[in-house]
């Protein structure tokens, strides 16, 4: 049996859709005014709201305290923390990170860094901001899952 050398119509459609979406995202991020959903704009607020939603959804399922430290061997320190404190810390940290990315974008626009470097720097900056914010939410989801799985 040999692998097929025919091009799959489904694969071609998927590649075309991915190309269109990527082109749209890149063009909206490269625009000097930026897109409405860019990570340092309202898109970042959506990620912060997603973090709040994860915390609110996880609160009833978790107990009074959550495990904050998994270790092998002797460890002298706290291994549990109050659930409301930990669940509130994630959205606060993500919001502070969002504000930092927003302030840095404003500063870079003010000094003309995006204009002087061409069309590539703004999309890369926005992509890095998005990746960082989404990774923080992923860590939050993994933390909640680890506490639910370990309970």
Model's pTM, two decimal places?
0.69
Percent of the chain with pLDDT over 90: 20
How far is CA 28 from each of CA 47, 48, 65, rounded to the nearest angstrom?
18, 21, 43
How far is Cα 34 from Cα 28, in angstroms, rounded to an integer? 6
Q: What is the pLDDT of residue 1?
A: 44
Q: 68 versus 54: which is more confidently predicted?
A: 54
How far is Cα 77 from Cα 22, in angstroms, rounded to an integer? 46
Using the structure block, give the residue that is written with the tokens 């989404």.
Answer: 134
pLDDT in tens, 4-31: 555 567 778 877 887 777 666 656 555 5
Q: What is the pLDDT of residue 138?
A: 94
Q: What is the pLDDT of residue 11?
A: 74
Q: Contact 124/30 with Cβ under 8 angstroms?
A: no
pLDDT band at 83 (very low <50, low <70, confident <90, very high): confident
Q: What is the pLDDT of residue 31?
A: 55
């Amino acid at each position: 049996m040999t692998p097929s050398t025919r091009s799959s119509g489904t694969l071609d459609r998927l590649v075309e859709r991915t190309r269109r979406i990527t082109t749209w995202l890149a063009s909206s991020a490269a625009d000097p005014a930026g897109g409405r959903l860019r990570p340092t704009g309202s898109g970042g607020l959506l990620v912060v709201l997603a973090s709040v939603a994860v915390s609110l959804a996880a609160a009833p399922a978790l107990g009074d305290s959550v495990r904050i430290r998994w270790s092998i061997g002797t460890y002298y320190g706290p291994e549990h923390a109050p659930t409301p404190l930990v669940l509130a810390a994630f959205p606060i940290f993500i919001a502070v990170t969002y504000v930092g990315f927003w302030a840095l974008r404003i500063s870079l626009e003010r000094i003309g860094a995006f204009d002087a470097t061409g069309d590539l720097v703004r999309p890369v900056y926005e992509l890095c901001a998005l990746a960082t914010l989404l990774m923080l939410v992923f860590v939050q989801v993994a933390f909640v899952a680890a506490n639910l799985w370990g309970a």
